[in-house]
Amino acid sequence: MLVKKILLISMLSLVVANALSLVVHANEQQEEDFMQIVKAFMPSNSSLINPNMPVSTKSIQFYDFNNDGQKEIIFTFEIKAKDQPAPSHFGAIVLKKDQNGWHKVWETITEGVSLDFSGLIDITGDGIKEYLFSVTIGAAIGSELEVFQWGNHSLKKIAEIPYNKMDVVNEKQKVTIAIWQLYIGDSYLVDVLKWNGEKLVYDEASYSKYYPNIEKFYHDKISQMDAWYYWYCLANAQMKAKKLDEANRSIQKGIELAKKSAVHEAVQYFNDLIKKLRNKKK
């Protein structure tokens, strides 16, 4: 009986191993087939490149934009400048298949230093994902996010947003985008945007939900270096999140540090915040 069980387990293991081998081989063959399709449409002197975000995203993605059962191919590429370290060109191309085969229906290309984002996210909340593409122009200048929506057999731009750091937040039945704009050093002013039916706009409720992320960021920074500009950005965030008493304490702390550092213009920045705070309390 024991021998029969061992033989049965061995046979089942062999069947599973063979099945897995066939699946892996099929996937590898499919990837090779798609690679050959993409190569035929790649610009000269270009190479495929993975974006920095979303994490683990590949250079080739698939999505059925028009819900016809046939997924389109989206791939990202880089054309390196001949004279380094001059900026490269980063682009994306969408391929669609019809009865005559694959053909290019859309392309974008931007000069910059890296491909920061290439992903599919339903920004508008209509059930169809938009394509988000972003190239980093420079460390201080930051990146430029472009949002493209499918329509009339191609993609059209519906939003364009500059940022230095970005965080895509998936909530119930909606997506918000936290945009971090560089202020001084490694401090940032933050906005949280959502689609209002026509464009991406600041959303107060979403900001309040996202605020704990901002608060933690600045508490960590302040624990390492007690700088006035961290307190300024924190106070700005607290005012947006309607934490007015906390904002007032942050402003007073920031003024104290600015005076100690003899940064007189910073004191005026905080005075301007005080005026805004008083208006909010009315």
Q: What would the mean pLDDT of 80-103 be, rounded to a whole number?
A: 91
pLDDT in tens, 247-275: 999 999 999 999 999 999 999 999 999 99
pLDDT in tens, 125-138: 999 999 999 999 99
Q: Considering only CA atoms, which of 197, 199, 161, 162 is closest in space to residue 182?
A: 162
For residues 86 and 158, membership in a common domain is answered with: yes
At 11, is the pLDDT very low, low, confident or very high (cuts 50, 70, 90)? low
pLDDT in tens, 138-165: 988 999 999 999 998 999 999 999 999 9
Residue 201, domain member (yes or no)? no
For residues 75 and 131, membership in a common domain is answered with: yes
For residues 26 and 122, membership in a common domain is answered with: no
Percentage of the chain exceeding pLDDT 70: 89
CA separation (Å) from 10 to 2, 21, 201, 212?
12, 16, 61, 54
Residue 55, domain member (yes or no)? yes
Beta partners for residue 98, in sequence order: 101
Domain count across the chain: 2
For residues 63 and 121, membership in a common domain is answered with: yes
Please give the residue range of the domain that contains residue 101: 45-163
Q: Which residue has the tokens 């996010």?
A: 145
Q: The domain spanning residue 136 has which CATH number?
A: 2.40.128.460
* Number of Cβ atoms within 10 Å of the Cβ of 102: 16
For residues 57 and 140, membership in a common domain is answered with: yes
Residue 168, domain member (yes or no)? no
Tell how far CA 194 is from the center of its chain: 14
For residues 156 and 84, membership in a common domain is answered with: yes
